[in-house]
Amino acid sequence: MRKLLYFTFTLALIAAITSYALWTRERPIGHYLSDLRIKLAVDQGTPADHGNLLGIQPELFPTDYQSPERLHRKLAAYLQQARDQGLLNEKTVVVLPEHIGTWLMVSGEKNELYQAASLKEAMNWLAVSNPLPFLRALITAKGDNRLNDAHLRMKARSMAEQYQRLFGGLAKEFGITLVAGSIVLPEPVIEGSNLRIGSGALYNTTLVFGSDGLPIGQPQRQLYPTFDERGFIQASADQAVQVVDTPAGRLGVLIGSDSWYPDNYRKLNAQGAQLVAVPAFVIGRGAWDRPWRGYKNLSTPSEVSLKPEEVSEGEAWRRLTLTGRAPSSLASAGVSVFLRGQFWDQGSAGQSFINSNGEHFADGDARGARLLNIWL
């Protein structure tokens, strides 16, 4: 009798493990109707032969990331509408928001993940659906928040490949220079013409792609991640701020709140930056109008007099982002572009804006997808 019980239990265990293994391999893709509309919110200057700086504020949701093809469809629709309005040419520099590439971590997952009620539940589905990659990533995780590190690290190789193929492909398809927002990857580097990853710490990174679809320069890492991210994203304050040549002029990129540091603009000035792109992301619905919490990290510039809770989050972004304000920045124009949408229970805020010659241009209604353009 005991042998029969052992035999029955073993068969049941094998059946359960087999069923689980088969379940983890299933990736059904459901139908999804995405809103492809986008509004031209700001259009400054007069078209000439100097090119233009075009910010795209997308409105994205988890199901937009169900496959790279879906995300391409949405972003290509935005770019096509910009082209139809005469906003794209061989000298156009397009800027996308922070973390637009990071969410590729949920690409190709099970429907339960996209239907989750919260980000925590979604990440649980991500781990359960990929048990072996998740365990390997957890073993090699860095930083204080090893769980968040593992979620990002477990699919980093495929994320890097998808990021380059998607955004490099869009740059080539539309014949533009593209600042591809940002993506969190371990020790990213360009080898030859390809984005590669290492095995060390995670960095919030951006790449610029030329109209041939290839990367321009090396990845630019975020220098000062926010306090909330420092448990799993490594600061890179000792890295040089890069400036790259584009058909519209020399371009510098500052990720998120890196744009709050006056010293970064001095470094860009020293390299002759004419344009500045700021991919950004503010978490929390309504956060734009709440009191500003300060620099949210360990480094606060001594020359900044703005105090926490003195102004709103939005006003702090407008005051601290110095593009186009001589002598702090000698750039002729800059654009700050925010990621909008709803990622499970994580809402988003942020109102994209353009700075030029000390003037600030923004749309009064920040909801939905927006185009912000300035002719150079």
- Assign 305 to helix, strand or coil: coil
Contact 107, 65 (CB under 8 A): yes
Contacts of residues 268-274 at CB distance under 8 Å and 24 or more positions apart, as own/partner, are: 268/241, 268/243, 268/329, 268/331, 269/329, 269/330, 271/241, 271/242, 271/243, 272/243, 273/243, 273/329, 273/330, 273/331, 274/248, 274/249, 274/250, 274/330, 274/331, 274/332, 274/333
Tell me which residue range forms the domain holding 261.
2-375
Site of tokens 């001589």: 326
Query: What would the mean pLDDT of 274-291 be, rounded to a whole number?
Result: 93
- Looking at the chain, the whole-number percentage of residues with pLDDT higher than 90 is 70
* Number of separate domains in the chain: 1
pLDDT given at position 11? 45
Phi, psi of 311, deg, nearest 5: -135, 175
Cα–Cα distance, 299 to 257 (Å, whole number): 11
pLDDT tens track for 163-216 = 999 999 999 999 999 999 999 999 999 999 999 999 999 999 999 999 999 999
Q: Which helix (H) or strand (E) holds 38?
A: none
Residue 40's pLDDT band, with cuts at 50, 70 and 90, is: very high
Contact 206, 220 (CB under 8 A): yes
pLDDT given at position 19? 45
Residue 16's pLDDT band, with cuts at 50, 70 and 90, is: very low
pLDDT given at position 166? 98
Residue 34's pLDDT band, with cuts at 50, 70 and 90, is: confident
pTM here? Answer: 0.91
pLDDT tens track for 245-261 = 999 999 999 999 999 99
Q: Which are the contacts of 277, defined by CB distance < 8 A and separation ≥ 6?
A: 53, 93, 95, 179, 251, 252, 253, 254, 334, 335, 337
CA dist list (Å): 261 to 100, 268, 309: 23, 11, 18
pLDDT tens track for 298-316 = 667 888 888 888 999 999 9
CATH code of 141's domain: 3.60.110.10
